[in-house]
Amino acid sequence: MITITADNTRFKFRIVGIALHNDRVLLHRLETDDYWSLPGGTGELLEPAADTLRREMLEEMGESVNVDWLVYVVENFFDHEGMRHHELAFYFLMTLAPDSPAYRRGTFPGVEDGKPLIFQWHPLATLDELPLYPTFLRRGLQALPAHTMHLVHTDLKP
């Protein structure tokens, strides 16, 4: 995994999937978390980003996905579990198989490193009311850019 930890700071290369269906977006969280995020995982050395996303979705939710286009490149800075984080993330639009049972279920289980995940479809129109991180996604998912966009975003606490 492409992760570096030094002092009280962690750098991570994260690959993220944006799955949209019927004006909803697929989000996930650990059972123990009180916030939502887009599904994805940490890139590995010598693994192309699209392959990382395919692997992670198969591991976490048992689904094969088609990786479409790169929507966002995000330099994200945030605090989590007592550490400062510097994350470089590629956000890809992805689609599940047309006959995927995930489209018919509002909420379904998954697993990440042996920990239970909750996957859930959320209406795009209600994302402003949701504890969704990084926070730029609350608006950024409601109208995706026409071309790949680079963002520098921070959710660091003062």
Give the chain's domains with CATH numbers. 3-155 (3.90.79.10)
pTM for the predicted model, two decimal places = 0.95
Strands (E), 51-123: 65-80, 83-96, 107-112, 115-123
Model confidence over 113-127: pLDDT tens digits? 899 999 999 999 999
Contact 92, 17 (CB under 8 A): yes
Q: Return the structure tokens found at 155.
A: 């959710």
H runs (alpha helix) in the chain: 49-61, 137-140
Model confidence over 69-109: pLDDT tens digits? 999 999 999 999 899 999 999 999 999 999 999 998 889 99
